[in-house]
Structure 1
Amino acid sequence: MLKSLLSSIGVSSFERSAADLFRHYAEQWADTVRQDYFGNTVATMNTGAKYRVLLSAHIDEVGFQVTEVCQNGLLKVRGIGGVCPARLNTQQVVVCADCGYVNGVMVSTPMTNDGKMPDIKDFFVDIDCQNREQAMQLIELGAPVAFMPNYSVHDSVITSKSIDDRVGCYVVLEVMKRLKGRLKKIRLSVAATTQEEIGLRGMAAVAQTEQPDMAINVDVTDAEQLDKTSRPRMGEGCAIVLNADSHAMFRERVIKTASRANIALQKCLGREITGGSDSSRMQIFSPKTLVGELVIPCKYMHSHTEKCSLNDIESCINIITDLLTGLDEELA
């Protein structure tokens, strides 16, 4: 399931293929599954229970969109989400076309004329076409472009595109799978939200329609790496966010749950003190919801070769599973 989710294609606002895969898995354990006009997928089990818990993660990934087909057959693109241009040259991509996926390579001169590193506007996608007419037989303007699937695992470390945030989608599905038939008082929903990378748009709709009592968002965060210090380390557990995205009551419950069950847990400051993930949209559009966020350390975010640890994914699953099991017993 994890490899399939990471390998699926779902650039922000073009998430249907990845969202349908999420739905396919969710239908195995949920009582009901629905999708809205945003493309959000919400699956629910134990629908008769009164206390509503929502687990969420965003299904979309960063990518590009074709803006021009050039006379020489190359494609000009614009970025969708926060893609780092310094990591793009010669990366393999796929262009989503009516005929299927067309393989391509991101190309640019090493430097611009003024000696600066190239921006996304300086890149082209080479799809092995000799001229515009040949390229137009395959590609239409507006076609989404994604990093080519490249999943691999070595010593419990995953390298792949779209770890942000398909690992979160995997976590919430796995929690639902493990809790199937075990909850008595909790109505559990899991959501794969869309368009997070371009403004947290999907969660704004989910928050207003679901209005849960508790919401737990699962995302990734920058791990300690070459240019980022004092961050959570890969392989030492998921992390609880200490900014406004997590309510103090939620943080306290998570820390106690991890300590009692001896599950690895780190602490993380988060993006900004004011938030910046789907959690913030849940807080704004469903103000009666107790909101919290757990994050998985990730290296080289928004690139073709993101990295995370299977151990951190498992710690996140275990913490949420234990937390909800304990909460269900309290509500009995």
Structure 2
Amino acid sequence: MTATSDDDPIDGDHPFGGADPLDEDLLYELTEARGVPGYEDRVREIVRREFADAVDRVRTDAMGNVVGTIEGGSDYAVAVAAHMDEIGFMVRYVDDEGFVQVDALGGFDPRVLRAQRVTVHGEEDLTGVIGSVPPHTLTDEQREADDEVSDVFIDLGRDADAVEELVSVGDLVTLDQTTTRMGDCVTGKALDDRVCLFAMLEAARRIDDPDATIHFAATVQEEVGLRGAHALGVDVDPDLAIALDVTVANDVPQIGEAADAVTSLGEGAAIKLKDSSVITSPKVHRRLTAVAESNDIDHQHEVLPAGGTDTAGFQTPGGAKPVGAISIPTRYLHTVTETADVRDVAATIDLLTAFLESETGKHDYTL
């Protein structure tokens, strides 16, 4: 494929503009929406809207999980999960000078927070910046100190009285970044896990009259312990569960060993074998691989040393269940420049769709 510049129309072979084009506007809307764990409201409304014409029924539970169900020809049920929440912060203190201190909602690398722009969702949405002491005035002790989230302070450019009127303890804070195309990739905040939420919604639109009943689940609070998936594992109680999430793509110059890359951009959908929260069911990941091979879908296998996904949330809460997972390789995870190749996104949609359409309920996943 010939690369195009960021200002040129998308090439016809590009997944956004090919024979089966992806909805670029929806992907951008999802990734730019704000929704930290427990407060996924804005994302939830998009999901409900998109489910309206794609599934037979939609329900929302007390935690905020949204489940769109396509009724199948049998009682056999498959759950597909992708989480709505993104990492963010909650205001824990406003000091006498009007600077805001926060508590993390999800796992941050404090090194990437310096000088970031944020939005504080107070009485109104307020632009702020995470302050950073200029290198000219750093002491030796400050230069050697490790960054901590607890040291983060947000400057709202207002005096203390104005901040007091607009910001309260418990207000939410999200990182501020737009989504844009970059060659064959898209980059922005919250691709974790909105790019997989997008893939799930696209698959739901493509599937019609399946043999199995399919519950497409947009889950909450994944970033703080897979909490929404644990609840749905009991409430939905599927016979089989497939989770969608991003995974590490460390295919960049700083990584010495190729094995440490985990996955590579442009090599296709990643079929998960394990992460630190789950070992996927062998018969499930083998069938995912067979479906990819028989449909000529680009794919790779993923062994993730650290990190967990909703896959684990469905494996045991309602009793032992077969589980599998499809991941989208993504560079620079948990930053505002998360980057994924749209060809891998398209491969993930194709694989998920083909797998679900071929799920009859007669495959034996017992060991």
* TM class, shorter-length: over 0.9
Range with greater deviation from structure 2 (4-13 or 24-33): 24-33
Task: Provide Cα deviations, 1:43-74, integer angstroms capped at 9, x if missing partner.
Answer: 11226641211110111000111111122221
Q: Does 1:126 align with 2:160?
A: no
Tell me which stretches of 4 or more aligned residues in structure 1 moved more than 6 Å: none
The equivalent of 2:235 in structure 1 is: 209
How far off its partner does 1:286 sit? Answer: 2.8
When the two structures are aligned, how many residues end up with a matched partner? 325
How far off its partner does 1:329 sit? Answer: 9.6
Task: Provide Cα deviations, 1:92-121, integer angstroms capped at 9, x if missing partner.
Answer: 11111233x211111133668452132111
The equivalent of 1:96 in structure 2 is: 121
In structure 2, distance between residues paired with 1:217 and 1:8: 21
Task: Provide Cα deviations, 1:254-274, integer angstroms capped at 9, x if missing partner.
Answer: 1111111111000110245xx
Does the residue aligned with 1:241 lie in a helix, a strand or coil?
strand
In structure 1, distance between residues paired with 2:42 and 2:213: 27
In structure 1, distance between residues paired with 2:171 and 2:315: 34
In structure 2, distance between residues paired with 1:79 and 1:239: 29
Are the aligned partners of 1:245 and 1:293 in contact in 2 as well (CA < 8 Å)?
no
Are the aligned partners of 2:108 and 2:334 in contact in 1 as well (CA < 8 Å)?
yes
The equivalent of 2:66 in structure 1 is: 41
TM-score, with structure 1 as normaliser: 0.93
How far off its partner does 1:208 sit? Answer: 0.3
Does the residue aligned with 2:173 lie in a helix, a strand or coil?
strand
304, 310, 315: which one pairs with 2:342? Answer: 310
313, 323, 326: which one pairs with 2:358? Answer: 326
124, 140, 148: which one pairs with 2:176? Answer: 148
In structure 2, distance between residues paired with 1:213 and 1:220: 24
The equivalent of 1:50 in structure 2 is: 75
TM-score, with structure 2 as normaliser: 0.84
Q: Does 1:270 align with 2:299?
A: no
* Structure 2 unaligned blocks of 5 or more: 1-25
RMSD: 1.8
Are the aligned partners of 2:184 and 2:342 in contact in 1 as well (CA < 8 Å)?
yes
Range with greater deviation from structure 2 (253-262 or 219-228): 219-228
From the superposition, tell whether residues 241 and 329 of structure 1 become closer, same or farther in structure 2 (CA, over 3 Å).
closer
In structure 1, distance between residues paired with 2:153 and 2:359: 52
In structure 1, distance between residues paired with 2:183 and 2:132: 34
Are the aligned partners of 1:6 and 1:149 in contact in 2 as well (CA < 8 Å)?
no
Are the aligned partners of 1:245 and 1:277 in contact in 2 as well (CA < 8 Å)?
no
**1:44-193 maps to which residues of 2 (within 5 A)?**
44-46=69-71, 49-99=74-124, 101-109=125-133, 113-114=141-142, 115-131=144-160, 133-179=161-207, 181-183=208-210, 185-193=211-219
Does the residue aligned with 1:76 lie in a helix, a strand or coil?
strand
How far off its partner does 1:126 sit? Answer: 1.3
From the superposition, tell whether residues 277 and 271 of structure 1 become closer, same or farther in structure 2 (CA, over 3 Å).
farther
Range with greater deviation from structure 2 (106-115 or 255-264): 106-115
The equivalent of 2:248 in structure 1 is: 222
In structure 2, distance between residues paired with 1:218 and 1:271: 17
